[in-house]
Amino acid sequence: CPSDRKNETVYEAKQVGSCERNWKLLVACILVLGGLAVAVSLALGMEVSQNHAATDEPTVQPTSSPTHDRRPTLQVVEERGVVRCGFRRCGANGKYGCAVDYVDVCRFVASVLFGNSSKFDSVSVTLGNRFQVLQSRKADLLLSGDTHLVEREIKEPTTGVGFAFSTPFVYSGIKYLGDEDMVRCAEEEQRFDNCRQLKICVLANTTLSEIIARLFPSDFYTTMAPYELSERYLDGTCNTILHEFPRAWLLHSINASDEAAASKIASTYIGTKNVAYEPLSIVTRQSDPEFSDVMSWAINALMYAKEQGITADLSKCTPYSSTPTSASELDFLLGVYCLGNSIGDARQIMPEDGDMIGGKGINSINNGTCMINTLPFGNLEDRDADVAQGDLGRIRGGDYLNCGVVVPDNFFGDLREATGVVGMSVTYCTAVAVALMDGKEDAVELFPFVESSNVSYQALHNGTVDILAGAKAKSEIPGVTFSTTYFYGNETAEEDLTMYTLATRKDDFKFSSFVNLVVMSTIKADKDGIGRDAHRNMPLISGTIVVVNDSLRKRLIVRVFAPSVYGSNIGWALKDAISYSGSYSQILSENFPQSMAATGRNCIHKDGPLRHSIPGIRFQNP
C-alpha cells in the first residue's frame, strides 16, 4: 500500500531449528560464499567496463567518479543548440505522451530558448527510470506526465534527491472508467452487495496507485505496468480503471487495427466525479534554479497569452540575433508566437473528453471564482532523516523566527492586532513559528515594511528576516520563492492578479518547501474538515518507534513511524500549526467580515477554473 508506509513489523516467538543452533558454521559458510561472489563480480565488472568503454565518448584519462558539466543548464543548452526533453512512450502505438501532447510542450520550450520549435532532442524514459535519467543529465527536463508532489521536491524515492517543478501546464482530472454500475460503486466507495464485484486497474508506482490505496482495500484493485492496462481491461481482469485520461490512454495503448477493442473503449462509461485533480509540471534538476525558473516563466507566458488573447504570429517567431546568456535575455512569448496558446491542452488529443480533463473547467483562465488550492503532499516520511538542518535547524536552535510583514503605506497600528490581509499575514507568520518551535506561540518577531519600499526584499536577502509575509508574487523578483497564495485580489482575468504569499530566499529549498507546507496545511485542513479544535487529526510528518505488547496473542508488535523529510524532530509541525491558526476558512473569517469570508477567489477550490498568470512576464515583442 504505497501511500500508507507505516511499515508495521510483527516479531513472534518460534521454535529454533538445527540451522539456527549451528549459527557459527552458517556464518563461516556465508563469509566464504560472499568472498567468492565479490571476486566474481569484480572480474565481471572489469570485463563489462572494458566492453562498454568502446561505445562511450573517449576521455583523456579514466576518472574515479562520474563527472558532469558544472556550468548552468541554460548555458549548456544554448551552446549545444538543442534542449533534451525526457518523454515516456505509451501503448502499442509507441507514441510519446498519450493524452497530452508533451512533445508540443517541449517544442514550446525550444521556441522560448531558441526561437525555433524544432531545436529539441527526444530522450526516452520509463516510469521506473525517468528521474534517474534527469538527475544523470541525460535529459534537461522531463515531460512525462509527472505530478507535482511536495514529497518529490525534497526527496524523490528512486533517486533520493529533490527536483524542481514548473508552474503546472495542465491539471488532470482523475476519473473512473468502465462498467457503469461498477464505476458508480467506485465513486461512492461502496464494497458490499453488487459492489463486491468491483475490480479496479491502476498504474503501478504512480500517484494513482497511492490514491487508490487510500480509497480501497488491496483486494479491490490491481496495479500494473502501462502496457498491461488496456489488455487487463479488455480481457476482464478488471471492470473499472482509475486514470487521469482513461479513454484517451486506452485508445492510444491498443493496436490501431483492433476495431473491436476500439469500439468497446469508445463506448465505455466515464464517471462524473473527479477523484482528484493533479498538477502536471515540467520537471528539472533542483540544483539549477535559473533553468527551473525559465520553465515556470515559459508556462506563465502561455497563461498570459490565454488571458490576453495572444495567438501564433509567425512574423515574430524568429531566432535570436545573438545567443542568450541568461534568463533575462529570453523572450518568453516566443513559444506563443511560434505555436499558439493551446499548447499542453489535453483536449487537443481527445476532444470528446475535454470536459473531463479540463476543457472549459479547471484548465481555463480564472475570472473570479474559488482558487485557494493545495498541492498533493505525497509521502513525507524518510527513515534516514537527521534532525532539521539548514534554516530549519538554525531557527529551531534559536529563540525566534524573524518575520517581515508587508503593510500599506498608511498602516500605523499594532501588527498583532491587525485584521484583513495584514492580519492573515501575521497569522501565517506565527503559524510557521509555532510549527517550527514545538507549538510555542510567542516564538516570532514581527518587522513591518511599507509596501512602497524595496527595503523588505533587502531585509529578506541579507537575513534580517527569514520570511516576508504579504509579499505579492511576481515572476521578475530574483532569488525569491513564493508560497502558495493565501489571498487573491479581485482583478479581472485580463489584469495582473494580486497574489499575497509568504516569500523566502531561494538558497534553502527545504526551508521554502516547509514554509509552503504550513500554508497548504491550512487549506488541507479545510478540505478535510479539520478546524482548530480538531487539530490533533492533522497528520504527523514524522514519528517515533512505538512498542505494543499484545499479551492476548503473545507477541510483540513494533510500529515504526519514519522521520520526516524535513527533519526527525518536527513531526508534529502540522498539528501545532493548525492548533494555532485553525483552517483556512477560520483564518479568513477571523480577518474579514462574514460577507467576504467565502466570496470571489478566496474560497477553497472544488471545481472550475484554476489557472492565471503571475505578474511580471518578460517579453521583447509586445
Domain boundaries, the chain: 73-169+281-357, 173-276, 390-533+579-596
- Please choose, from the candidates 441, 317, 363, the residue with its C-alpha nearest in 3D space to the C-alpha of residue 173: 363
Superfamily assignment of 173-276 in CATH? Periplasmic binding protein-like II (3.40.190.10)
- Please choose, from the candidates 277, 265, 91, the residue with its C-alpha nearest in 3D space to the C-alpha of residue 179: 265
- Please choose, from the candidates 195, 216, 203, 271, the residue with its C-alpha nearest in 3D space to the C-alpha of residue 243: 203
Mean pLDDT, all residues of the chain: 82
Residue-wise pLDDT for 443-489, tens only, equals 999 999 999 988 999 999 999 999 999 999 998 788 999 999 999 99
Domain 73-169+281-357 has CATH 1.10.10.10: no
Mean pLDDT within 587-616: 84
Q: How confident is the model at residue 556, as a pLDDT?
A: 45
Nearest-10 Cα torsion for 405, 410, 414, 420: -70
Query: Residue 396: CB partners within 8 Å, gap ≥ 6?
Result: 388, 436, 437, 569, 570
Residue-wise pLDDT for 132-146, tens only, equals 999 999 999 999 889
Q: How confident is the model at residue 384, as a pLDDT?
A: 79
Q: Domain spanning 390-533+579-596 has what CATH number?
A: 3.40.190.10
DSSP assigned state of 457: H
pLDDT over 60 at 166, yes or no: yes
Residue-wise pLDDT for 524-580, tens only, equals 999 999 999 999 999 888 544 444 444 444 444 444 455 788 988 888 999 999 999
Q: How confident is the model at residue 477, as a pLDDT?
A: 86
Do 173-276 and 390-533+579-596 share a fold?
yes
**Integer Cα distance of 243 and 250 in angstroms:** 10
At 243, is the pLDDT very low, low, confident or very high (cuts 50, 70, 90)?
confident
Residue-wise pLDDT for 278-303, tens only, equals 899 999 999 999 999 999 999 999 99
Judged by phi (left if over 0) then psi (alpha if -120 to 50, else beta), residue 265 lies in: alpha
